[in-house]
Structure 1
């Protein structure tokens, strides 16, 4: 995901027990013309339930296997191959997909197999192996690392040219209605086959193809969402999990928690830099005066990923830009926003905007209009009602229009009815789980991680002060926590 309580104060988030460990706050237990859907709602619901049943059941027929194995080009010590899976997990439509897989060659790793799940949705797996291998190198003498291109990504990426050009890899940048509908027309009925439950079933096929009885899963951002759904569907197949930058099971498309947390983040950075003004109050004034809340939030979310202390080194100086805009000079701020928007430099193989929309719009459980089966004619009124029901206090220093104007809401309000993501058959994760989250992450805000950790009886939440999105390989304390959890 790119992606979170009083107006001016960040509340203290508490959990049943807490301890300090190696300087890290650790709390335990605490991502033809479009018309109505092709089937009526009752048939879509039946299809969703059938998908859950097919995912949870032991598949009939021969065991899945990896084919066309060969050394991975440019990735020493890894073998690349393909996993062939059904395109339609309900069995209604024939056809298959070939998903690239990369597997480390240390087959006798003493602690077994480590499945690494990338984010998005939209990121590939195999192409990220060199980067991820470096980030978790301290684990790879003990674990055999595996990555897969989830359906619709990487080598088989969905390529919706206009949508890709408009939004690239951003959750927040709103696409045009025309780009969304063009992408949906391109996919046709295939749009039904990119839910997280489809990916969960693909991962179970991968586990069987690797001939491992249980594995460890490490997911980042949207990868944490996939990991949780897999573990809830196949709990006996997961030894333990690491969830880095946590996405909840019930994604909030309005980003209320991230909008609220922005003021706290800005004030923390200002205090560290002695910036000499109140950036949260300045932001509140700017977005109301210039009606650019979505763009400003997009800018700050990206900053929370690459420059969470907002130093401006190698990136846009957010605090000075806000100050200038508050003083009546919005042009530099708006130029910075414009420079970040668009995906002309983001090829689909690196991040598929089409897959991102197809998956998120199916996965949403509580969009303003309900789930993905809601007819298009209901959605505009539902967005307007959501706007009316949000108070300024709920999203300060932003305003309610920012919440309903972000890219997830604006893309999914135009995405045609599709089969909803089937929900996993269980609701509590009982295996050991390590959750790690930066306190300045606005893409997957800390509130989400606190919420999920509280639902895990063997969950342990490690909060990394001063960090934003995606911790592993970028923060020594976070790596120490993962190393302790997985190697001791």
Structure 2
């Protein structure tokens, strides 16, 4: 399947789940090298395109023209205010075009304002503007809580690609090819997807990297009047935070990172293995609940795998649409982001598909994952996610993608082969940015890194490795299932709030 993303709040609200999932991806930030034998990316000339929100720079010279902006907040939701700011499209060419960033704020309601707490839900591609509305802010009333849509995302100057039926066809293509024809189709559809992004987004596609987002964040810190950056990042948002601490260590205030991505060279655990573990945990739970899929973990897994294999040949009709193998795997993966409180919905969806030949529930989950509404419109994160990921990540070409898929199929025997080779970045029309130094954040204030033992999207080992590699990293653990800890654990919330508000650093190795 396409590498995993999920919108926090949407699933939690619809499934009434205890946890809250966010955008997530495992990215081999420094370890992957291009495979020169696999033809390389199909790089294309950059067209002259002006995306929404790309404008002339503010009056003045250099960075002073940007640092001198005044933010004008106005009401935009029930309890929130919104504004926009301009940042350089290219920090190496400050006289060139500017792009627009959208921000939202929940203003402090106490008389002891501590400044701003910037928050990011992950992704790449999660909307911080929306995150401000559902972020658990109890105990954080001393802060203005500020979310922003990073460059290329949402209400900021957005990356745009395929639309409507073309994007729907892309989501339905078999992404775990079994023969040469399917393999070619998977490569071709990814090549066309990337080309459409370049046609509609132009030079923006070269400037949505995380290093540039980090520079934007430091500019925003100054525009809200803060000397230090106080920050809460989830999932991919932990990479933004860690890279900020590496780039601007002296500007780090109080930072909490929940659901850490892998910032190290250690490849012993992959995201695919995380989902394999979660599927096995679900299967054990299902068997213990007396579900119809099987009386043992192995029997439940056998039923799920048999369903996926059958859908490869016989898609299930759902109204005017079909539940394909790829969409069924996507639907299952979406619910695995949640903890046990939501697993009953996955059980029901799988039982309907296996015993009633009714794929509507799993298709519904897949649509949530893909942000598809009932009219066939898709969320913008379907564009920003690959745009940021492929700019940040040096892939290993088509040959490398196939080799990685084969490795994951062995390491994750239940779900690995259904994820298939990741052909998005090998077919991307823009080159990746240069590698950055090893992230250690020397000289930064304490950084609290939170990991969940059963996290499928950012396996717990990633948090252990991030906390160890960051010189000021402090590890906090939630024993539980689902992606992210802060949204589902009162214990974790208390630890995070105590640090953010009072500066109370938890003991390294604290467990909830």
TM-score bin, normalised by smaller chain: 0.7 to 0.9
Q: Is 1:227 the equivalent of 2:241?
A: yes
RMSD: 3.8
- Gaps (5+ residues) in structure 2? 6-24, 26-40, 47-61, 176-185, 313-323, 505-512
Aligned to 2:337: 305
CA contact (8 A) 1:164 1:344 kept: no
CA contact (8 A) 1:124 1:351 kept: no
For residues 278-322 of structure 1, the C-alpha deviation after alignment (integer angstroms, 9 at most, x for no partner) is 233544555556558754542232112345455424x6625636x
Q: Is 1:344 the equivalent of 2:372?
A: yes
State the SS of the aligned residue for 1:434. Answer: strand
Aligned to 2:114: 111
Alpha-carbon separation, structure 2, partners of 1:150 and 1:164: 27
Give TM-score, length-normalised by structure 1: 0.72
Q: Cα–Cα, structure 1 residues 249 and 305, in superposed 2: closer, same or farther, change >3 Å?
A: same
Q: 1:130 aligns with which of 130, 133, 136?
A: 133
CA contact (8 A) 1:260 1:397 kept: yes
Q: Cα–Cα, structure 1 residues 396 and 108, in superposed 2: closer, same or farther, change >3 Å?
A: same
State the SS of the aligned residue for 1:179. Answer: helix
Alpha-carbon separation, structure 2, partners of 1:204 and 1:354: 25
State the SS of the aligned residue for 2:480. Answer: coil
Alpha-carbon separation, structure 2, partners of 1:480 and 1:461: 15
CA contact (8 A) 2:371 2:379 kept: no
Aligned to 1:353: 382
Q: CA shift at 1:85, angstroms? A: 0.7
* Count of equivalent residues: 413
Alpha-carbon separation, structure 2, partners of 1:464 and 1:330: 37
Q: Cα–Cα, structure 1 residues 185 and 112, in superposed 2: closer, same or farther, change >3 Å?
A: same
Q: Equivalent residues in 2 for 1:94-173 (5 A)?
A: 94-106=96-108, 109-132=112-135, 135-140=136-141, 142-156=142-156, 157-162=158-163, 166=167
Alpha-carbon separation, structure 1, partners of 2:239 and 2:165: 23
- Gaps (5+ residues) in structure 1? 4-30, 40-58, 370-378
Q: CA shift at 1:160, angstroms? A: 2.3
Alpha-carbon separation, structure 1, partners of 2:168 and 2:234: 21
State the SS of the aligned residue for 1:243. Answer: strand
Q: Is 1:418 the equivalent of 2:431?
A: yes
Aligned to 1:192: 206
Q: 1:81 aligns with which of 69, 83, 96?
A: 83
Q: Equivalent residues in 2 for 1:263-302 (5 A)?
A: 263-270=279-286, 272-275=288-291, 276-278=295-297, 279-284=300-305, 286-287=307-308, 291=312, 294-302=326-334
Q: CA shift at 1:344, angstroms? A: 3.3
Alpha-carbon separation, structure 2, partners of 1:164 and 1:212: 45
State the SS of the aligned residue for 1:454. Answer: helix
Aligned to 1:383: 401
Q: CA shift at 1:476, angstroms? A: 1.8
Q: CA shift at 1:237, angstroms? A: 0.7
Give TM-score, length-normalised by structure 2: 0.69
CA contact (8 A) 1:149 1:155 kept: yes
For residues 334-360 of structure 1, the C-alpha deviation after alignment (integer angstroms, 9 at most, x for no partner) is 972476245432999964321111101
Q: Is 1:249 the equivalent of 2:263?
A: yes
State the SS of the aligned residue for 1:67. Answer: coil
Q: Which has the higher contact order (CA 8 A, sep 6+)?
A: 1
Q: Is 1:396 the equivalent of 2:413?
A: yes
Q: CA shift at 1:194, angstroms? A: 0.6
Q: CA shift at 1:126, angstroms? A: 2.2
CA contact (8 A) 1:155 1:349 kept: no
